[in-house]
Structure 1
Amino acid sequence: MDLGGHKVTLCIAVVAYILYLILPYAGPAHGWEALTFGTTSSGVRISIMETVSAWLALIGLGILTPVTLFTRRATPGLIAWMLVTVSFFANLWGFWFRGSTADGASLGMWVGMLATFLAFLAYSTVALRRSPEQKAAEARVRATAGQLDEVGEFQSRIDAAPQREPLEDNRRKQAAERHRAQRGEQ
């Protein structure tokens, strides 16, 4: 997988993910505690969506992104892209959940969202752009698309309408002449 200039972005996302694990996530709970469902030892309630987001980020950013950076293979990169994308949107749901609890979002939660967002953007850009091979194949298809075989040429000749002179709309001129003729003017 050709990451191009997005290697730096993905490295920053991995570092931000590591910070997410260390920094306070919600209240006194740290980011690594979001991997557990239920209530943490410090009494912070973690929802199922926050746990899902944390696990998807762990697999996508913590494991598969470094694998992609080191091996430059497409398969772990594409799987990481899918996991990080779902994790990002689940993380946004986590912010909504945190707004309705006593333990609001802390710095770690914001850093985690930033990490998944950066990885989402980088992977989307890499996965959705065309490779040089795809561009060359598209050029070949476009070059051959304009060439017709015998049947296509015959159909083009049959379907071609005979060329006619453009019609001239002279109804106003004729109406004016009739009007003058009725009045006796010439």
Structure 2
Amino acid sequence: MSDQRGDHDADPIEGYRKDFDAAERKVAGEIDPGARAVVVAVLVLILLASLSLPHAGGANGWEVLVDGDAARDELVKVPSRIFVGLVVVFGVIASMLALVTRRWVLAWAALAGSAVSVVLGMLSIWARQTVPTDAGLSGPGIGLVLGWIAAIVLTFHWLKVVWSRTALQLAAEEQRRVAAAEAEQRGDWTV
């Protein structure tokens, strides 16, 4: 009868070890933003509000995003369009998905996209400040500046969330190191 069980039943702990490993991988892929979740949610609302405010003259952020008539009249440049697109995709959508799902990968995407949008936001402001005065075009609007500042703060908060480790993640990591050290001493490399 013991021959029919096979090698799997020889070690009853093996099934539990696989469950623990799966749980550890799940925990390692999650974030715990804590109170920062509220700050990130407020920043997402500020980004959405900034899209309704003027970015350049009479062109608000939504018109810049869809290349509306007001944006064309103000000669809105490519950096502004890319900035607004990145704010919508990463600052709003990826941030909300990361908060709802608590997935580490989505938080990283929100962080990376927000960081790139900060650079493009600065380029957008500079582009609006260097328009010729005789062209009758306006400088950067309050929506552009507010969106850029919100993107900076959002990037900072995502950075703190992504790099923070929960107590459970640290304990699982320590458990993995101890198990690996014990396996190395036994000469067992399957852990």
2:36 maps to 6
Matched, 1:90 2:90: no
In the TM superposition, residue 139 of structure 1 has moved relative to its aligned partner by: 6.1
Give the Cα–Cα distance (whole angstroms) in 1 for the partners of residues 71 and 65 of structure 2: 13
Give the Cα–Cα distance (whole angstroms) in 2 for the partners of residues 14 and 4 of structure 1: 16
1:56 counterpart (78, 83, 86): 86
1:107 counterpart (133, 136, 142): 142
State how many pairs are aligned.
149
2:11 maps to none
In the TM superposition, residue 75 of structure 1 has moved relative to its aligned partner by: 2.0
1:119 maps to 154
Give the Cα–Cα distance (whole angstroms) in 2 for the partners of residues 23 and 6 of structure 1: 25
In the TM superposition, residue 90 of structure 1 has moved relative to its aligned partner by: 0.8
Task: Give the direction of change, closer, same or farther, for the CA distance of 1:77–1:92 in structure 2 (3 Å limit).
Answer: same
8 Å Cα contact 1:81/1:124 also seen in 2: yes
8 Å Cα contact 1:17/1:62 also seen in 2: yes
Give the Cα–Cα distance (whole angstroms) in 1 for the partners of residues 177 and 100 of structure 2: 37
2:51 counterpart (4, 8, 21): 21
CA RMSD of aligned residues (A): 2.8
The amino acid that maps onto 2:88 is: L
The structure richer in helix per residue is: 2
Q: Could you report, residue by residue, the CA deviation over 1:146-178 in whole angstroms, capped at 9, with x for unpaired residues?
A: xxxxxxxxxxxxxxxxxxxxxxxxxxxxxxxxx
Moved more, 63-72 or 86-95: 63-72
2:73 maps to 43
The amino acid that maps onto 1:118 is: V
Q: Could you report, residue by residue, the CA deviation over 1:94-131 in whole angstroms, capped at 9, with x for unpaired residues?
A: 11111112320111112111221121011001112233
Gaps of 5+ in 1: 144-186
1:32 counterpart (41, 44, 62): 62
Q: Aligned residues: percent identity?
A: 26
8 Å Cα contact 1:16/1:114 also seen in 2: no
